[in-house]
Amino acid sequence: MPDLRLSLCMIVRDEEQTLERCLASVRGAVDEIVVGDTGSRDGTVALAERLGARVVHIPWRDDFAWARNQVVEQATGHWILSLDADEEVAAGTAPRLRELIASPEARLRCYRLLLRHHQPDGSAIEYYYGRLFPRHPAVRYVSPIHEAVVHLEDRDALEYVTTAEVVVDHWGYAQKAIGPRWERNLRLLASAAASSPDDPFYAYKIGQHYLDGGRYREALEHLERAIALAGATRYGYVAQAYGAAVCALIQLGLPARAVTRGRAGTKRYPDYPALWYYLGTAHLLAGDSRPAEHCYARARSLHGVADEAGREHYQLDRSMVTWRPLHGLGAARLLAGDVAGALRAFQDALSLAPDQPDALLGAAQALLRLERPAEALPLLERFATQRPGDDEAEALLARCRIATGAWQVAYDQLDTLVRAEPGRRLCREALADVLLAAGEPAAALDVLGPALDPVGAAAPFYRQAARALRELGHADDAANAEEMARLLSGGRPR
């Protein structure tokens, strides 16, 4: 059998920042690179040509499948590898491409490679997707968005084979903000849904898209429609629709409804860890620590079984079976008053994700409640480096320094921050506490002054002001400040 040639096929537009890394990841593993440019205005085309690609210019028709098919038709290899510019084949796995296509039985196989979609918080969602397939006149992409490789004449003629031997890392979700591409994809999804109004897949995708864009009411509407359209079918994306619906309800401040939806989802999909995690969070926000603990423990228990089976059927976020449920257990135990148990859970989470900000904060808060500030301090210092400029992080760090006796360090930190950014409410509150504890009530009042504006004022500032006024001998003014604090806390006028 002659050597089989492999063509990398891509569609790009304005990708000069990421293209070189993508092509470097398959150097030596592919025989040709065909890049379809859909209208770049930056240096993408020149860069692609300099890196050895053959560039074809393709008009953009709001159809990803059509564009990809145009590039495939320009390829000359026996096999096609499809990548996006913000992706790369993971180090050490590219050589396996040759072995896969050389398999005697692989003539009409589409290999579903392991994709790792890296998220802004450092986690990654994993699932398999068809990216390696033979160049055949009947094997093409379909669907204008979320396109898939199929055999156009006989859907059963193309065998889909799942493999984790080749891994593709996608970095776009970790880097790109909501913007023109988000609007474009929403338009394409709406068009696809209009063509197939009873297809639950597009309803789910639109709902997820709205959720990613922070438009929670629209997200919930489409996700509920997807669940209803799916009926009794058990597509993997329906489990994800349940999870996304729970998230939307949580964001809308409706934890009781989120619990109801989550229970229905876990009943149908008991092996989907993300659903158990989201249900645990809904219980936690509803103030129910015991069922929250149960749900988080269930998510964690799926760690082993979720790896391969989960990626086969669902998008698997590994953090949903590792540090996230452990962090949730810690939060639930804190709510229940089991501070020592909470600390153990947070420490277990940190053993799996040592620099995860939420786990660092949880462990530090538990240590502070156990009156162990010296142990909490390094955790809060690490937390602050993970959240640079964050008001909560800086205020907590300062309070921990105070608890360890480092008053001057805390004062210098807070004074510098509040002077530079007067809107730091939590740091201002902590600075006032430092001054009050140091016996400087007049200076504390000066710090509190800008925060005592009736518009947007908060009760803690008035309580601090009342304390300072009492120490200065202004009993009537202190009483007035206490009354303002009571009213701002929801009390009725006297």
- Whether residue 241 sits in one domain with residue 133: no
List of residues 6+ apart from 182 with CB closer than 8 A: 209, 212, 213
- What gap in Å lies between CA 363 and CA 161, rounded to an integer? 43
- What gap in Å lies between CA 139 and CA 133, rounded to an integer? 8
pLDDT given for residue 111 in this prediction: 96
| CATH number, residue 98 | 3.90.550.10
pLDDT given for residue 1 in this prediction: 46
Two tokens, residue 338: 């089991």
- Whether residue 150 sits in one domain with residue 91: yes
**Residue 93, Cα to own-chain centre: how many angstroms?**
26
- Whether residue 186 sits in one domain with residue 129: no
- Whether residue 166 sits in one domain with residue 31: yes
CA dist list (Å): 92 to 32, 96, 124, 253 = 20, 8, 19, 45
Residues of the chain with pLDDT under 70: 1-2, 106, 173-178, 305-313, 454-457, 494
- Of 152, 175, 198, the residue at which a domain comes to its end is 175
Nearest CA-CA partner of 268 in 244, 299, 300, 235: 235
- Three-state secondary structure along 52-110? CCEEEECCCCCCHHHHHHHHHCCCCCCEEEECCCCEEECCCCCCHHHHHHCCCCCCCEE
Q: What sign for the dihedral angle of Cα 357, 362, 363, 368?
A: positive
- Of 123, 143, 175, the residue at which a domain comes to its end is 175
Q: Between vectors from CA 105 to CA 132 and to CA 126, what angle results, nearest 5°?
A: 35
| CATH number, residue 216 | 1.25.40.10
- Whether residue 162 sits in one domain with residue 207: no
Range of the domain at 272: 180-321
Question: Would 357 be classed as within a structural domain?
Answer: no
Question: Would 397 be classed as within a structural domain?
Answer: no
Nearest CA-CA partner of 423 in 383, 465, 382, 453: 453
- What gap in Å lies between CA 412 and CA 421, rounded to an integer? 14
- Whether residue 296 sits in one domain with residue 198: yes
- Whether residue 231 sits in one domain with residue 287: yes
Q: Give how many domains the chain has, as a whole number.
A: 3
Q: Between vectors from CA 209 to CA 144 and to CA 111, what angle results, nearest 5°?
A: 50
- Of 125, 154, 175, the residue at which a domain comes to its end is 175
Question: Would 346 be classed as within a structural domain?
Answer: no
- What gap in Å lies between CA 429 and CA 391, rounded to an integer? 11
CA dist list (Å): 53 to 3, 42, 75, 82, 224 = 21, 16, 11, 14, 45
Q: What DSSP element (H or E) covers 130?
A: strand 124-134
- What gap in Å lies between CA 387 and CA 258, rounded to an integer? 29
Tell me the whole-structure pTM to 2 decimals.
0.83
- Whether residue 151 sits in one domain with residue 102: yes
Q: Between vectors from CA 274 to CA 121 and to CA 311, what angle results, nearest 5°?
A: 90
Over its C-alpha atoms, the chain yields an Rg (Å, rounded) of 28
Question: Would 409 be classed as within a structural domain?
Answer: no
| CATH number, residue 466 | 1.25.40
- Whether residue 249 sits in one domain with residue 309: yes
- What gap in Å lies between CA 116 and CA 131, rounded to an integer? 13
Judge contact between 241 and 262, C-beta under 8 A. no
- Whether residue 433 sits in one domain with residue 304: no
pLDDT given for residue 2 in this prediction: 59
Two tokens, residue 245: 């619906």
